[in-house]
Amino acid sequence: MLPIRVWPLPRRPGAGHAGLRRLFSAQSKAIVYETYGRPLDVLKIHSFPLPDLGPADILVKFLASPINPADINQVEGVYPLKPRFRTTEISSATPLALAGNEGVVEIVDVGPQSRLHHAFNPGDRAIMRHTLFGTWRSFAVAAAQDLTRLPFTTAQISSVQAATASVNPTTALNMLTDFVDLQPGDWFIQTGANSGVGRAAIQIAALRGINSINVVRDRDDIDNLKQDLSSLGATHVVTDKEIADKGFRATIKSWVATAGGKQIKLGLSCTGGDSTTNIARQLSAGGHLVSYGGMARKPVTVPVSLLIFKDIHLHGYWLSRWSDAHPDEKETVVNQIFDWINQGKLKHVPVNTWSWTDDLSDDERLQVFKHAVKTYIDGAHGVKQVLVQT
């Protein structure tokens, strides 16, 4: 992991927005696309002047911006939530979409109304309150309703930790609480356990005394991965090959019986396909299976016998819909996550950081970002790719 240093923007005493413009480039550098397609083919960099700062506006600098699966799907055009293609406000003759949905910013300057009514001050950090803001860029002018203030210092929560808290851990916490009233000693089972959501679910469940069975793809270093997830609080870690073996069900039953005989009430899946079917088979009668992703690009297939004789319930979960519909509730959930991170109870997913520095040309910035995207596409799942600005 590259070292991360966040340098405060220097200000001349009494300098307003015009002073900032003299000290810094008036250009925002943004990763954009004008048509849907393969990210490495359609993503490009676009520079445009920042608009004048109005009385209620907030000038922000992006400190860290992750690359999430939904971001990639959005660029590909296969994600239900579509971005807005803009022209005049980003000084482009061709309509362009600003990419990226998650990130953390530093407040650089604020208009007098924002300072008075919303308690945003230069030097504060904030995360995005809604999706579709366009977080893969250097600077932006935002409104107060776009931001949720981060109530922790960089010494308490790093910018990378803050930037990766509002999607994966939030998804995990909501799925563990919204579908089943899990009590200490209960069980849940999940696919993609080494993903960002999976790692967060393991830790949050452990904090609440909930047992977990965690399914991962078999690999050469499987013992290391099992040890890694166990260190986060996973009760058991198994491979997709193990869970597919009908004889393995007896092993799972013995685990549950030994731990007090409580039920496997919840299944979480980010894959689809056979892996999802196999965890559905492990659920207790009346259990709930929640799908929140389809990384295998295969449908969810559940035997009719599970629906009839075990009364298994099927659900889908989409964080973006919940997040935009319940911004105040999201703030409460994210603040709980921040509190756990600050206490050292919740570790963020392993990350690769990709740095934009002031001396990079536009082409160099684009190449840095494309390397990050390619690393994600090539299969670095379980390791988050994060753009940082220094």
Q: Where are the domains of the chain?
A: 17-164+348-389, 170-320
Cα distances (angstroms) measured from residue 154 to each of 157, 162, 384 = 5, 9, 20
Contacts of 113 (CB under 8 A, 6+ apart): 55, 56
Other C-beta atoms lying within 10 Å of the C-beta of residue 374:
13
Query: What does the pLDDT look like over 223-242, one tens digit per residue?
Result: 999 999 999 999 999 999 99
Other C-beta atoms lying within 10 Å of the C-beta of residue 221:
9
Other C-beta atoms lying within 10 Å of the C-beta of residue 168:
24
> Sign of the CA dihedral 45, 79, 328, 346?
negative
Other C-beta atoms lying within 10 Å of the C-beta of residue 38:
12
Active site members: 79
Query: What does the pLDDT look like over 61-120, one tens digit per residue?
Result: 999 999 999 999 999 999 999 999 999 999 999 999 999 999 999 999 998 887 766 678
| Structure-token pair, residue 126 | 């904030």
Q: What is the mean pLDDT of the chain?
A: 91
**DSSP secondary structure, 120-164, as one string:** --TT-EEEESSS-S--SBSEEEEEGGGEEE--S-TTTS-HHHHHT
Q: Is residue 338 predicted with pLDDT exceeding 80?
A: yes
pLDDT of residue 194: 94
Task: Please state whether beta strands 211-216 and 264-269 pair in parallel, antiparallel, or not at all (unpaired).
Answer: unpaired
Task: Please state whether beta strands 125-128 and 139-143 pair in parallel, antiparallel, or not at all (unpaired).
Answer: unpaired
Nearest C-alpha neighbor of 344 from the set 232, 192, 194: 232
Task: Please state whether beta strands 139-143 and 57-67 pair in parallel, antiparallel, or not at all (unpaired).
Answer: antiparallel
CB 357 within 8 A of CB 387: no
For residue 175, the surrounding DSSP H or E stretch is: helix 168-178
Q: Is residue 8 predicted with pLDDT exceeding 50?
A: no
Other C-beta atoms lying within 10 Å of the C-beta of residue 178:
13
Look up the pTM and report it. Answer: 0.89
Nearest C-alpha neighbor of 243 from the set 207, 210, 211, 267: 267
pLDDT of residue 381: 64
CB contact burial 193-203 (16+ within 10 A = b; e otherwise): bbbbbbbbbbb
pLDDT of residue 296: 86
| Structure-token pair, residue 79 | 């994600």
Domain covering 17-164+348-389, topology: Quinone Oxidoreductase; Chain A, domain 1 (3.90.180)
Q: Is residue 274 predicted with pLDDT exceeding 60?
A: yes
pLDDT of residue 279: 97
Domain covering 170-320, topology: Rossmann fold (3.40.50)
How far is CA 133 from its chain centroid? 14
